[in-house]
Amino acid sequence: MNISRRSIKVISMMALPLLFSTACIKKEEVEVIKTAEVTATAPAKKALSQDEIVIGAVFPMTGAIATYGQESVNGIKMALEVINKSGDLAKKIRLIVEDNKGEPVDSSNAVRKLINIDNVHAIIGSVASSNTLAGAPIAQQNKVPMLTPASTNAKVTMTGDYISRTCFTDDFQGVVMAKFAHETLKKSKALIIVDNSSDYSKGLAKVFSTEFTKLGGTLLGTTDEFTYTQKDTDFRSLLRKVKRQNPDVIFLPGYYTEVGLMLKQAKQLGMSVPFLGGDGWDSPKLQELAGPEAIKGNYISSHFSPDDQDPTVKSFVDAYTESFKQKPGAMAALGYDGMLVLADALKRAGELNHRNIRDAIAKTAGFKGVTGSITIDAARNATKSAVVLETTPAGMAFKQKVAP
């Protein structure tokens, strides 16, 4: 008697999950059949809406790295305004922004939601490579084009032929800055400080170190010796250690949130060595965080120069400054360009289905954006020029342009 009751209790406890599983086995069978069909007879997906264009954006709008996501979305929304106002596209674009909190799990959920529920034409996102990598396999499996405006990690576009990007990769920036340090600044003893929790930073550091030694410079220490992690605020002890090594140039590929603090603390410690960085520095916030003294005399590679008198850049910078009461940073510019490239592809796609949109994105060539002339290559990466900027209290000053 007791035993039977016990087993009933256990079974009743399992009722819930079992119910789920039986309900879902059926679903799964259906899906297996569906995918089988897809592979057999071309696309059998839900037809895309032809009355309006739905674009999904996946960005960290909350959470630890929300500042990059919010800035990117600002740029995207501005681009959208321009597109919808100009009437170049016969149909209106509707943007659905999904938050991923900067978490891989949420990224993959958000991408699934956009594809399955909203039936989007294409996805734009995300900023951190780890979030893009979490969402990319899903977009690839569902054959929905995904365009990332700012994920520079080489792996991102290797996920599959539906994933492309409108920014350059880490490799290019590292080479540019190594050449700049050695040839333009004539420095020979470099030291690298790495953000150990960021793949972007590690990637740039690696490329810089090989390129710099190849050019004949010496590297003090290794790339794992001077590290910090995102959200750190106190770099005084690290900088003390760096100072002991006596470098004549420091490469610091990181994001402006930490770099700003580090520059300020370095100045307080009496360091006057130039710091070099990548596009992660490029934000008007950097000037605020570092302060007018510490910001002087450092150089970064980035995508565009806000002082550029080119009408495309000028109108973007003016419009952005008016809307958001601050100058645009790299994230905003990249988001803006990403959206424009996507709109341009939609214009050329003809009948709107995922395959056509993807093909149109891949055929982008010489698109004139804020961040330069964008051409998507065979590996679905953008080839475009980089600029070297000097950080000054007033903003980023143009130094030189480097062609790919």
Partner 1 sequence: MNQDLVYFFSDLVQYLINGLAQGSIYALIALGYTMVYGIIKLINFAHGEFYMIGAFVGYYCLMSGMPLLLAFPVAMIGAGLVAIVVEKIVYKPIRHAGRIPALITALGTSLFFQYLGQGLIGADPKAFPEAIKSVTYTFGEVMITSTQIIIMAMTFILMLLLYWLVNHTRTGKAMRATSFNKNAAELMGINTDKIISITFFIGSSLAGAAGVLVGMYYNTVEPMMGLIPGLKAFIAAVLGGIGIIPGAVIGGLVLGVAENLVVGFWVSTYRDAIAFGILILILLIKPAGILGKNRREKV
Partner 2 sequence: MEYFSHLLLNSGIFIILSVSLNLINGICGQFSLGHAGFWAVGAYTGAAYGVYLAPDFLPDFVNLFISCGIGFLTAALAGVLIGVPCLRLRGDYLAIATLGFGEIIRIIIMNMDTVGGPRGFTNIPLWSNLFWVYAWVAITILVIANILRGTHGRAIISIREDEIAADSMGIYTFKYKTMAFVLGAGFAGLAGSLFAHANQFLHPNGFTFMWSVIILLMIILGGLGSITGSIVGAVILTFLPEMLRFMGETISEWRMVIYAVLLILLMLMKPTGIFGKHEFNVLSFLAKFTGKKKEII
Q: List residues near partner 2 by CB under 8 A.
A: 5-6, 8-18, 20-21, 24-25, 27-28, 31, 61-62, 98-99, 101-106, 108-110, 112-113, 115-117, 129-130, 133-134, 137, 142, 153, 155, 159, 196-199, 202
195 binds partner 1 (CB under 8 A): no
CB 179, min distance to partner 2, A: 25
DSSP state of 143: T
**Which option in partner 1, partner 2, none does residue 279 bind, with CB closer than 5 to 8 A by kind?**
none
Q: Rule CB under 8 A: which of 2-61 touch partner 1?
A: 61
Query: Judged by CB under 8 A, which stretch of 51-59, 257-265, 368-376, 387-395 contacts partner 1?
Result: 257-265
* Residues comprising the chain, all counted: 404
Q: Which residue has the tokens 């016969």?
A: 90
Q: Which of 104, 291, 395, 404 lies at the binding interface for partner 1 (CB under 8 A)? A: 291
Tokens representing 274 are 């130039």
Of 231 and 363, nearer to partner 1 (C-beta) is 231
CB 62, min distance to partner 1, A: 5
240 binds partner 1 (CB under 8 A): yes
Give 108-115's long-range contacts (Cβ < 8 A, gap of 24+).
108/134, 108/135, 108/138, 110/58, 110/135, 111/56, 111/58, 111/135, 111/138, 111/139, 111/146, 112/138, 114/56, 114/58, 115/56, 115/139, 115/142, 115/144
The answer to whether 66 and 102 are in contact (CB under 8 A) is: yes
227 binds partner 1 (CB under 8 A): yes
323 binds partner 1 (CB under 8 A): no
Q: Which residues of 337-373 are buried (b: 16+ CB within 10 A; e: fewer)?
A: bbbbbbbbbbeebeebbbebbbbbbbebeebebbbbe
246 binds partner 1 (CB under 8 A): no
Of 116 and 315, nearer to partner 2 (C-beta) is 116
Q: Can you list the alpha helix ranges (DSSP code H) found in 66-188?
A: 66-86, 104-116, 129-141, 170-179
Interface with partner 1 (CB under 8 A): 61-64, 66-67, 69-71, 196, 224-229, 231, 233-234, 236-238, 240-241, 244, 257, 260-261, 264, 268-270, 285, 288-289, 291
